[in-house]
Chains A and B, each alone.
Chain A
Amino acid sequence: MTGSLFRSTRSPVQTVLDVHVNALPEGITPPDSFYQSASLASVVKQNQAAHNEGFQVTGGCVCAPAGVDLLAASLALKEQCRDVDPAYANWRAMLRFDHCVGPWPGAGPVSRIAHVRRSLNRGLKSPVQGTVSRAILNDPTMLNEFAAVKLMPQMTGLPDDKALGLLGDLNIPILVHAGSFCPVRWIKSHLLPRTSSPVVLAHLGSWPCSADDLAQAVELAEADKRVFIETSGASIGNFIRHAATRIPEKLMFGSNTPMCAASVQWQHVSSSIQDDFVLKRVAQQNAHDLFGLSTSLTLDESTNNVMSNATGLES
Chain B
Amino acid sequence: MSLFDVHVHIGSSNTDELYYGLLSGSEYLTLMDAADVQQAIAFPPLRTDGYAQANAELVDWCDTTAGRVRAFARLGGDLLPVTEPQLWIARRAARAALGKLVGQGRAPDVELDELHRYAGVKLLPHLDGVPGKAVFDRINELELPVLTHAGRYATPRFIGKTILPKLKGRLILAHLGAFPDREKDLKDAVELARLNPSVLLDTSGIWIADFLSYAIREVPNQIIFGSDCPLTTPSAAWEMVDSVCHDPLLKKRIGFELAADIFGISS
Contact = CB atoms under 8 A, between A and B. Distances in A.
Contact of B243 (A5, A242, A261): A261
A268 B232 CA distance: 6
Nearest to A270: B236
B83 interface: no
Interface stretch (A75-83, A122-130, A131-139, A233-241): A233-241
B180 A208 contact: yes
A5 B240 contact: no
B232 A237 contact: yes
Contacts of B231: 235-238
A175 to B, nearest CB: 19
B30 interface: yes
A238 B243 contact: no
A211 B209 contact: no
Interface stretch (B17-25, B57-65, B127-135, B155-163): B17-25
B18 A267 contact: no
A242 B17 CA distance: 12
A269 to B, nearest CB: 9
A271 interface: yes
Contacts of B180: 208-209
Interface in A1-37: 4-6, 8, 34-36
Contact of A5 (B205, B207, B230): B230
Contacts of A263: 239, 243
A259 B243 CA distance: 11
Nearest to A210: B180
B56 interface: no
Contacts of B23: 5
A264 B240 contact: yes
B22 A233 contact: no
B53 interface: no
A237 B208 contact: no
Contacts of B233: 6, 237, 267, 271
A6 B230 CA distance: 9
B31 interface: yes
Nearest to B207: A235
A258 interface: yes
State which size class the interface on B falls in.
20 to 34
B240 A208 contact: no
Interface string A178-217: 0000000000000000000000000000001101001100
A120 interface: no
A22 to B, nearest CB: 12
Contacts of B232: 235-237, 267-268, 271-272
Interface string B72-84: 0000000000000
Contacts of B263: none
B244 to A, nearest CB: 8
A113 interface: no
B235 interface: yes
A115 to B, nearest CB: 25
Interface string A35-62: 1100000000000000000000000000
Contact of A237 (B181, B230, B243): B230
A36 B240 CA distance: 15
Nearest to B236: A267
A5 B27 contact: yes
B19 A4 contact: no
A211 B19 contact: yes
A231 to B, nearest CB: 11
B261 interface: no
Interface in A223-246: 233, 235-239, 241-242
Given A6-B233, A208-B180, A36 B209 contact: yes
Given A235-B231, A258-B209, A263-B243, A268 B18 contact: no
A34 B183 contact: yes
Interface in B9-40: 17-23, 27, 30-31
Nearest to B240: A264
Contacts of B267: none
Given A8-B30, A259-B209, A242 B236 contact: no
A259 B239 contact: no
A260 B208 CA distance: 6
B210 interface: yes
Contacts of A261: 209, 239-240, 243
A233 B209 contact: no
B209 A238 contact: no
Interface of B: 17-23, 27, 30-31, 180-181, 183, 205, 207-210, 213-214, 230-233, 235-236, 239-240, 243
Given A4-B27, A235-B205, 13 more contacts: A5-B21, A34-B210, A235-B232, A236-B19, A236-B231, A237-B230, A238-B20, A238-B21, A241-B21, A261-B239, A261-B240, A267-B235, A267-B239
Q: Which 8 A-B pairs have the closest CB atoms?
A: A267-B236, A208-B180, A235-B207, A261-B243, A211-B18, A5-B21, A208-B181, A264-B239
Interface of A: 4-6, 8, 34-36, 208-209, 211, 214-215, 233, 235-239, 241-242, 258-261, 263-264, 267-268, 271-272
13 contacts: A4-B27, A5-B22, A6-B31, A34-B214, A211-B19, A235-B232, A237-B232, A261-B239, A264-B207, A264-B243, A267-B239, A268-B232, A272-B232
